[in-house]
Chains A and B, each alone.
Chain A
Amino acid sequence: MMQGFRHIEDATLDYDADRCIGCGNCLAVCPHQVFELGQGKAVCRDRGECMECGACALNCPAGALQVRSGVGCAQAILHAWLARIPLLRRVFTPDACCS
């Protein structure tokens, strides 16, 4: 879908097809069309497109989706690391970007 815009192929997205009830919520929320509907169940079309935003897992009423979600933002990750250091904890807060 996003040609030229792929980052990693092994996102932490985990889909359990046995639990899927075919509601289609994951298709609606996914910004990269990772899922498609086939035979009354969601089918993982392309895991390499997943950006781990967590929208599908949060909106799956059957609990069929798991993902280690977060923002793919270097500044946020850097601040989270710095906030673990005792003295710097006063200055940096984890996940602090876009503020």
Chain B
Amino acid sequence: MKLPDVFKTVLVRLGIGRDSYRIAPGLYALGSPDTDSPVVVTCNFKLTFDILRRELAGRSYWLLVVETYGINVWCAAGKKSFTSEEVAQRVKESNLDKVVSHRSIILPQLAGPGVSAHRLRKLCGFSGVFGPVHIRDLPRFIDAGMQAGPEMRTVKFPLSQRLAVAFVELYGARKFLLWVLLACLLAAALGPGGFSPVKILSAGLGAFATVLTGFLTGVFLVPALLPRIPFRAFAAKGLLAGAIIGLIPAGLLAGTLPQALAQIMACSAFASWFAMHYTGSTPFTSLSGVDREMRRYMPVQGGLLLIAVLVWLIWSWL
């Protein structure tokens, strides 16, 4: 990858321009493949394609890119855009049966939720073989005669990955944070700020700093310490981490004890909300599990925030 590509990767990780980070679907040649070369199927998210090109440099494979609307393999399979039908259609459109002499294609393992290997043969005449989870293991997989051990088949979630996927929340939450800032200033004007613009600004920004602390706790701290924080539910991890980190803005900004408690509660509620949203970035949470924790903890988050705002406002009126 050249330097501009590295720069673009950083932007895409943040979510900027991600919607248009796509590759045209179709058959691509990597190196100089011939009629016996393996065919590797992938999505059309450019970040994935870049990793493929980098990890498989020096190899000669055919790359069959399917239309997933710029979404990664796993999410596209889960959302049913990376399907057996889509793969079969791209196989036919690219006349793959005239390009290679064999009749098998290598699917990413994580396309499994969308692609049924045994149905592919009926649909397009090519049978699907599930490759490893990671592209970096693909050459070893192919050299071993399309065999993968459990270590190639298992998803892991190390610190570097947990943080890499957390960055997308930063950019994604920009509108939300702007609205929160306005709401904080408006609420400050109703009470704690009195009628002085300077006081409104300081009270409003103080409240916003509390929200921001909760946001950063939920978005970065909980993912970073994920296996170390007690509780299974992400929302519960966020409540705990937010309440502890909330001591910082409470200690620095609060004038009275009720104000400090309000800040801790608000920080805890926001940290819980954003930690709960991190479930979508992890490779191990299930629909049942996330559904359950949302039903259980969203009332807690809402209740905490409501009490925090009321305490903050009412104490200023007394």
Stretch of B2-10, B24-32, B106-114 lying at the A interface: B106-114
Q: Within 8 Å CB of B77, what residues of A?
A: 55
A58 to B232, CA, bound (A): 28
In the assembled complex, A85 has its CB within 8 A of some CB on chain B: no
Q: Are B130 and A4 within 8 A (Cβ)?
A: no
Q: A73-B280, A74-B276, A98-B75 are in contact. Are A28 and B288 (CB under 8 A)?
A: no
In the assembled complex, A43 has its CB within 8 A of some CB on chain B: no
Q: Within 8 Å CB of A29, what residues of B?
A: 109, 112, 130
- Report whether over half of chain A's contact residues are helix, strand or loop; otherwise say mixed: loop
Within 8 A of B (CB), among A6-24: 6-8, 10-12
The range of chain B's interface size is 35 or more
The residue of chain A having its C-beta at the shortest distance from the C-beta of B283 within the complex is A31
In the assembled complex, A44 has its CB within 8 A of some CB on chain B: no
Q: A4-B227, A25-B118, A59-B117 are in contact. Are A75 and B277 (CB under 8 A)?
A: yes
Contact of B112 among A53, A73, A97, A99 (CB under 8 A): A53
**C-beta contact mask, A19-45 vs B, less than 8 Å → 1, else 0?**
000000101111111000000000000
Interface centre among B113, B234, B285, B289 (most CB of A within 10 A): B113
Q: Are A51 and B71 within 8 A (Cβ)?
A: no
Q: Within 8 Å CB of A83, what residues of B?
A: none
The range of chain A's interface size is 35 or more
In the assembled complex, B150 has its CB within 8 A of some CB on chain A: yes
Contact of A50 among B72, B110, B286, B294 (CB under 8 A): B286
Q: Within 8 Å CB of A75, what residues of B?
A: 277, 280
In the assembled complex, B179 has its CB within 8 A of some CB on chain A: no
The residue of chain B having its C-beta at the shortest distance from the C-beta of A29 within the complex is B112
The residue of chain B having its C-beta at the shortest distance from the C-beta of A6 within the complex is B232
The residue of chain A having its C-beta at the shortest distance from the C-beta of B277 within the complex is A74
Within 8 A of B (CB), among A51-66: 51-56, 58-59, 61
A68 to B286, CA, bound (A): 10
A49 to B227, CA, bound (A): 15
Q: Are A72 and B116 within 8 A (Cβ)?
A: no
In the assembled complex, A76 has its CB within 8 A of some CB on chain B: yes
A52 to B286, CA, bound (A): 5
**C-beta contact mask, B89-122 vs A, less than 8 Å → 1, else 0?**
0000000000000000000011011111110000
**C-beta contact mask, B72-95 vs A, less than 8 Å → 1, else 0?**
100101110000000000000000
In the assembled complex, B153 has its CB within 8 A of some CB on chain A: yes
A43 to B281, CA, bound (A): 29
The residue of chain B having its C-beta at the shortest distance from the C-beta of A49 within the complex is B284
Contact of A72 among B72, B117, B130, B290 (CB under 8 A): B290
- Can you name 24 A-B residue pairings with CB atoms under 8 Å? A2-B154, A4-B227, A5-B226, A7-B284, A7-B285, A7-B289, A8-B286, A27-B153, A28-B148, A29-B130, A31-B109, A31-B154, A54-B78, A55-B113, A58-B115, A72-B279, A72-B289, A74-B279, A74-B294, A76-B280, A77-B294, A78-B294, A98-B71, A99-B71
- Contacts A28-B153, A58-B113, A71-B79 given; 16 further ones with Cβ under 8 A? A2-B154, A4-B226, A8-B232, A11-B288, A28-B112, A30-B112, A33-B150, A55-B77, A55-B113, A72-B282, A73-B285, A75-B277, A75-B280, A77-B291, A98-B71, A98-B75
A interface with B by C-beta (< 8 Å):
1-8, 10-12, 25, 27-33, 49-56, 58-59, 61, 68-78, 95, 97-99
